[in-house]
Structure 1
Amino acid sequence: MSWSTIFALAVHDIKAKYAGSALGMLWELAEPLVTAGIYWFVYTVALRGDAVDDIPYALWLMVGIAPWFFLSGGLNGAAVCFHDYRFLVRKTKFHAEFLPAVRVCSAALSHGVFLFLVYLILCFSGFRPCLGQLWMLYWFLAGAAMSLGLGTILALWCVYLKDVAYAVKVLIQLGFWITPVFWNPAALPESFRWIIVWNPAAILVQGYREALLYGRNLTWQIQGMFWIVTVVCGAVAWLLMKKCRPFLADHL
């Protein structure tokens, strides 16, 4: 299967998701914007929280929530891709192993639109464009790689155990609270810093903020932690897919 086919299926996936909706893909932007607005109000108005490193909290939050919704959307979609496309999986000539990539690509397209909106808001808020912000593209691809590896593992588990799809939603909710999306990681006690160091989602969120807000990248040591987890997930996903692919249709 070519990348053009994967892209075409991803576009079709988005269209099918909002078929019959008057606003269409705008609903894809509504959830992260509303979520960011709620947390901004609670933190800055109700709790009277301060800016982070002299950056308005609303902007700091919006940049951090963008990769989180990309990751969570990719994982949620990939986890159920074989069930949603069971009619294609049962076709012997269809390369079902690419379906997780279709869902990650679908999440990436939606994320790209939201990210463009976030960047426009930053520019209108006084942030000057700089070359260092291009590191965001690096983290965009890094997030897609992690979503693909972990999403493929979850998709295969979901074929044999449908409860995995429900567990993923619960774990993503848990992950949101232990990932510094709306809270400042600098406020975390030293004894709990391992939550950030070994949490690839936390590193991804930090990578986006470093690129878009400061025009720089994370240290190679921190990036190494992220890629260790991502490469391991990718290798496990490849081995599981190689073993399970011939039997997918039998379990759907």
Structure 2
Amino acid sequence: MKEVMTLFKEQVSSLGIIFRISRYEDQASYQSHYLGLMWEYLYPLIQIAIYWLVFGVGLKHGQPLNGVSYLPWMVIGISPWFFMNRSTLDASKSIYQRVNMVAKMKFPVSALPTIKVVSNLSSFWTMMVFSIFIGLLNGVYPKVAWFQWLYYFFAMICLLVALGIFNSCISVLVRDYHILLQSVMRMLFYVSGVLFNFVTPSFPAPFVHLLELNPYYYIVNGFRESFLGTGWFWQHPLLTLEFWAFVFFVLLLGSHLHYKFRSRFVDLI
């Protein structure tokens, strides 16, 4: 627990430089491209168009889900998924990409995964505005439940920071881990409720609960319940407890590994 508190203090004390570096990385990533930062927003929009044509028009023939058109239902869920997927993968390789730089500076290595999470927020906000716009065009209007997204946003950031600390350390210790993580994230895309609603009577209850244990599903479903007004987080006490238990466990384990091996990161890389 002491290591978790130390990690938290390092994150808070480094907030200023975390936001400054994240803005710099956003600009540096696309400076050699003609459209520049526009690709930060164009790529997910192109992906959404492809998924909607394949799954919404092709497979489902435009049929609504839970009384809502498939397009807004999908977009509201896929927006946090894009953010979580990219942040998870970027954070996992943050230490072995930049540890040589921070080794020469008075800067906590534990802030590197958080920088990657923060740097992806700009595209996340754009996607959420796009989701709301698509929802309004399809009859999804503001409700009191919309305020609930603040809780799920906080839960999402906690999950990504915890996973970032853990994955970034393991990626240094086992260099093949990042490649494995990419494959796992591709699989999780299809079992996180992003494109399909598996909480139906046709699915066996034990199988459904097993899929609900996925923390990414908890966030995706939470954003949908918030913007579609179909439920509240306190209506799922077991899932909420399981989610936060997972986040705390990953943060505890990740913090322990981080501080155990941090002095050897440069040598290991």
Gaps of 5+ in 2: 1-12
Instruction: Output the CA distance in 1 between the equivalents of 2:45 and 2:231.
Output: 25
TM-score, structure 1 normalization: 0.93
Indicate whether 1:203 and 2:218 are aligned: yes
Alignment of 1:122-161 (within 5 A): 122-161=135-174
Q: Percent identity?
A: 26
Equivalent pairs counted in the alignment come to 252
Instruction: Output the CA distance in 2 between the equivalents of 1:22 and 1:89.
Output: 31
Instruction: Output the CA distance in 1 between the equivalents of 2:62 and 2:133.
Output: 24
The letter of the residue matching 2:268 is: H
Instruction: Output the CA distance in 1 between the equivalents of 2:189 and 2:140.
Output: 27
Q: Deviations over 1:69-120 (max 9, x none)?
A: 1111111100110122133232252211110110111122321221122122
Aligned to 2:29: 17
The letter of the residue matching 1:242 is: Y
Indicate whether 1:230 and 2:247 are aligned: yes
Instruction: Output the CA distance in 2 between the equivalents of 1:70 and 1:124.
Output: 23
Instruction: Output the CA distance in 1 between the equivalents of 2:101 and 2:225.
Output: 41
Deviates more, 1:49-58 or 1:126-135: 126-135
TM-score, structure 2 normalization: 0.87
Aligned to 1:112: 125
Contact 1:88 1:96 survives alignment (8 Å): no
Indicate whether 1:30 and 2:42 are aligned: yes
Q: CA RMSD in A?
A: 1.7
Contact 1:130 1:215 survives alignment (8 Å): no
> Which of 195, 204, 208 is matched with 1:189 structurally?
204
Gaps of 5+ in 1: none
Deviating beyond 6 angstroms after TM superposition, the runs of 4 or more aligned structure 1 residues are none
Instruction: Output the CA distance in 1 between the equivalents of 2:104 and 2:232.
Output: 44
Instruction: Output the CA distance in 2 between the equivalents of 1:92 and 1:123.
Output: 48
The letter of the residue matching 2:130 is: L
